[in-house]
A and B are shown apart, each in its own frame.
Chain A
Amino acid sequence: MPNYTIHVNGKERFVTADADTPLLWVLRDELNLVGTKFGCGIAQCGACTVHLDGVATRSCQMQVSIIEDAKITTIEGLSDDGKHPVQEAWKELDVPQCGYCQAGQIMTATAFLKENKNPSEEEIRVAMHGNICRCASYNRIERAVKVAAEKMS
């Protein structure tokens, strides 16, 4: 199997994987970064969302062979201590129910808030609509994104 050098959470990581292996499984199986979740495998649910050069991206669709130049941030690399305003807002509003989709939700929200510092409710609802929460904690996610935006301004 070929070797790749990828840039994850500020570090260079060397991995051996088939060229078509999705970044999701490289993160989870090879690098033990299991915060990024598997939900559907077809970019429909958003559980596997990471940042690729700052852009929210579905890691289940990114083959390891084409991302060697990109800077990848996962939930583990968002902050050292959970003090990113989005993480703090999640905690303040006690957002999660089962919690499984929340890493993906947080990664979508952080990338979105970088682009839109003062989003309207409607903009939040549209920006977050690609992330499924089966427990339907949507009301709290929506409020938490708003609170995070206020913290960041």
Chain B
Amino acid sequence: MKSQKIDNFSRRNFLKTSILASGGMLIGFNLLKACKPEAVMPVDIESLNFNDFNAFIKISNDGYITVFSPNPEIGQGVKTSMPMIIAEELDVEWSKVNVIQGVLDTKNFKRQIAGGSQSIRSSWDAFRQTGATAKQMLVNAAAIKWNVDASTCKASKGIITNANGDKLGYGEVVKEAALLEVPEDVKLKEIKDYTIIGQEIVNVDMDKIILGKPLFGLDYKAEGMVYASVLRPPIFGQKLESFDASEAKKINGVLDVITIGEKVRKYIQLGKKNWTFKLSETDKVVVIAENTWAAIKGKKVLSAIWLDDTKLESTEDHDNILTKILDTKKSNIRREDGNVEKAFSTADKVVEKTYHSPFLPHNCMEPMNFYADVTADKIHLVGSVQTPEYAAAVVADMLGYDVNNVHLEMTRMGGGFGRRLYGDFVYEAAEISAVIKKPVKLISTREDDMTTGIYKPSVKYRIKAALKDGKVTSYHLKEAAIGSNMYGSIPNFFPAGCIPNYKVETGNYKSNITTGAWRAPYTNFLAFAEQSFFDELAIELNVDPIQLRIDLLQNVKETDDKRIEYSGQRMEDTIKLVREKANWGETPEGVYQGFAAYYSHNTHVAEIAEIELKNGLPIIKKVTVAVDCGVVVNPSGARNQVEGGVLDGIGHAMYADFSFKNGKPEHENFDSYRLIRMNETPQVEVHFVKNNLSPTGLGEPGLPPAGGAVSNAINAALGKRMYKQPFVKELKKRNVLG
């Protein structure tokens, strides 16, 4: 086996071992320092204690391994896949591995966030290093015991052997191993030798899920805990004028009615607001009760007067605002190559289309909730939040505590989709507990979540392309958004680098409606617009839509533009895989295909949707997907993410509609807000591009191409182009659906 020396960083700088009082060996490592080789250690390694580490492995005397998974689990599978990586390099049987959700270390935590599909990507090297280093230490300890050279020993499945055929289990040498120096030069396994990575491993919380054991934030309870339901302004931006709690107080089980808001205002004045903080300054009315039902009932009968300090916008107003932004010359140029205007003036043909998507709520199945217990000297927080590190910091500042006295326990989350990046419900729960001086569980109803939460921004894209001599010579995209605009490297995604004259610009309007990240932020809808547009261009140019993409990608393969992070070659390979697997263009009569491909979150994805017509209505039957996410750590979990992402993308593109009337959301629960259901789902068939490259994200990248693939298939079947989500509304308008 070839030795693969990793010289990126010194293991001594991020890994430390110790003997446990209960027996066994504890290995602590710091994910941040491991992931950022350039990071300089702030203090001398010898003075570090285990508070400086954020991930742990325990090897017990009987050879059982406990991995404390440091990243929040929102359904993306990292609680299973991250420990798999450690177990692989440590070389133990998966059946001997137990996974426990790590507790937030408020002192030294860095990337303890579930978001942006980055968990696996940023920890791949660190986890492999840690597992391999621990294994080497165990081997070294056994070698000392046997008085042989460590290089003559081998370890596999938790057993160390030497040339004489002697055997020692990991558990038998942990005590000695923990005292050894951390080796600098360890071998990482070659991919062909993997026995755990690449296996179909079942979700580590499976038994708890199917038995209905307490697992999620909402399931957490503590002695003396009361329940709280919060009345927030019905229109974003309103302020509380007065309220009457007399009816609420008559309800059995209602203990008190209070207001909160003061701590939030003080916190805002501190000027330390971070991006997870989206609360307004208004007071809110809170019903405190013995049980959830009393809290919900009490809130229903509260009466409150809210002052309008805001324009009462309706969806039609938003529509006009977005169009105005598209029409104005004022904008923020995000990338510009060549001269788009000149190319338009000399084109054979110019194609221009506008695409529109509404605000969308996240609708995590587990409504927002959090437990908080604020006492004189410390704060205990428990629940489902994607950004535990920020949540602890905000609560500490808000209530004037040292962050070291904030203890945050993460639970499994009933969905995130970006909603739980924003800790408003944590901050509210903490303020409530501080006011009533009791442990409290803040609970939200579905209506609370859907009408007073955070939304995907409503967005319009106008895309214009020049066609000349059978080629796309110019591409100009403008984004108008309510809330914030596309971020980071998105303007450098496809087709940047493929078309000589290229311009992406953005403009936005600040509304009181709170917006934020929503699964695959911006690209969730941008990909639909762009990929529908390219389908139209292919028809205009009379070329196969897949061939058009492949031809364009040739132009970016040799690019020396460092801003471009997608790979022309990997995208082409991914597209070719889906073309082959879906038998592109060779479907039986009555089956219509649509193609889309998109790179996001470091992963290349291509999808082909198939539609059949039933009594003239389009039925989405199947979606074939090809994904290049590097090494697939857990194929079962990986396919699950892609299947879910594709269906989520289709569901929202087809059905999701959210509107406002005079500032108030017009949808508040699943009776009027439509989510995709089983009888509407196609079968999703997932294929992975096989390579040995480092793994990249999967929680999000399956979603963006789905809307485009379906929209292009609808056009193939019915000759109707979709320019606005949701598609069912468009199809009804055009008399396709009854």
Contact = CB atoms under 8 A, between A and B. Distances in A.
B367 to A, nearest CB: 7
Interface string B216-230: 101101000001000
B363 A134 contact: yes
A100 B216 contact: yes
Contacts of A41: 296, 445-447, 669
Given A91-B202, A134-B415, A139-B643, A97 B291 contact: no
A99 B683 contact: no
Contacts of A22: 293
A34 B208 CA distance: 11
Interface string A19-53: 00110010011101111111111101101000000
B2 interface: no
A137 B640 contact: yes
Nearest to A137: B644
Interface in B416-464: 416-417, 445-447
Nearest to A76: B212
Nearest to B209: A99
Interface string A72-116: 001110100010000100110010111111110010000000000
Nearest to B291: A29
Contacts of A70: none
What interface size band does chain A fall in?
35 or more
B728 to A, nearest CB: 16
A19 to B, nearest CB: 10
Contact of B75 (A42, A78, A87, A99): A99
A8 interface: no
Nearest to A104: B365
A18 B253 CA distance: 9
A34 B365 contact: no
A132 B414 CA distance: 13
Contact of A101 (B207, B214, B365): B365
Question: Considering residues B203, B364, B365, B367, which has the most beta carbons from chain A within 10 angstroms of its beta carbon?
Answer: B365
Interface in A102-148: 102-103, 106, 124-126, 128-142
Given A99-B412, A132-B677, A94 B202 contact: yes
B651 A136 contact: yes
B636 interface: yes
B200 interface: yes
Contact of A126 (B76, B646, B679): B679
Contacts of B76: 97
A131 B413 CA distance: 19
Given A97-B644, A135-B648, A42 B365 contact: no
Question: Considering residues A82, A125, A135, which has the most beta carbons from chain B within 10 angstroms of its beta carbon?
Answer: A135
Question: Considering residues B206, B296, B671, which has the most beta carbons from chain A within 10 angstroms of its beta carbon?
Answer: B206
Contacts of A28: 292
B77 interface: yes
Contacts of A137: 640, 643-644
B212 A74 contact: yes
Given A47-B365, A74-B212, A141-B678, A37 B291 contact: no
Question: Considering residues A82, A98, A128, A139, which has the most beta carbons from chain B within 10 angstroms of its beta carbon?
Answer: A98
Contacts of A133: 365, 678
B446 A39 contact: yes
A1 B294 CA distance: 12
A128 B676 CA distance: 12
A105 to B, nearest CB: 9
Given A98-B75, A136-B681, A140-B640, A38 B209 contact: no
Contact of B252 (A1, A42, A124, A126): A1
A67 to B, nearest CB: 15
Contact of B648 (A1, A94, A129, A136): A136
Given A25-B291, A99-B75, A131-B678, A40 B210 contact: no
Contacts of B637: 94
A98 B412 contact: yes
B219 A90 contact: no
Nearest to A28: B292
Interface in B157-193: none
Contact of A82 (B210, B681, B683): B210
Contact of B210 (A39, A42, A106, A139): A106
B336 interface: no
Nearest to A1: B252
A42 B211 CA distance: 24
B362 to A, nearest CB: 8
A94 B203 contact: yes
Contacts of B677: 129-132, 138
Contacts of B365: 37, 39, 45, 47, 98, 100-101, 132-135
A99 B445 contact: no
A115 B415 CA distance: 32
A136 to B, nearest CB: 4
A98 B415 contact: yes
Nearest to B363: A134
A22 B647 CA distance: 32
Contacts of B194: none
Contact of B636 (A47, A94, A99, A138): A94
A94 B212 contact: no
A91 B327 CA distance: 54
A132 B363 CA distance: 11
A78 B210 CA distance: 10
Contacts of A142: 678, 681
A131 B365 CA distance: 11
A142 B684 CA distance: 12
Contact of A32 (B210, B221, B647, B681): B221
B371 to A, nearest CB: 13
Nearest to B651: A136
B293 A18 contact: yes
Given A35-B213, A42-B669, A97 B77 contact: yes
B215 A99 contact: yes
Contacts of B202: 91, 94
B519 to A, nearest CB: 10
A29 B416 CA distance: 24
Nearest to B645: A136
B679 A125 contact: yes
Contacts of B227: 29
Contact of B214 (A34, A74, A141): A34
Question: Considering residues B76, B252, B646, which has the most beta carbons from chain A within 10 angstroms of its beta carbon?
Answer: B252
A148 to B, nearest CB: 12
B641 interface: yes
Nearest to A141: B678
Contacts of A21: 291, 293
B313 interface: no
B665 to A, nearest CB: 15
A18 B445 contact: no
Contact of B641 (A29, A82, A97): A97
13 contacts: A30-B291, A39-B366, A45-B670, A75-B212, A82-B210, A87-B210, A90-B209, A125-B678, A125-B681, A128-B679, A132-B670, A133-B678, A137-B644
Interface of A: 1, 17-18, 21-22, 25, 28-30, 32-42, 44-45, 47, 74-76, 78, 82, 87, 90-91, 94, 96-103, 106, 124-126, 128-142
Given A100-B365, A136-B644, 15 more contacts: A18-B294, A29-B293, A34-B218, A39-B365, A91-B202, A98-B75, A98-B365, A100-B216, A130-B677, A132-B365, A134-B364, A135-B648, A138-B647, A138-B681, A142-B678
Interface of B: 74-77, 200, 202-203, 205-207, 209-216, 218-219, 221, 227, 252-253, 291-294, 296, 363-367, 412-417, 445-447, 636-637, 640-641, 643-648, 651, 669-671, 675-681, 683-684
Top 8 nearest A-B pairs (CB, nearest first) are A35-B212, A98-B75, A100-B414, A75-B212, A136-B647, A44-B670, A97-B75, A99-B209
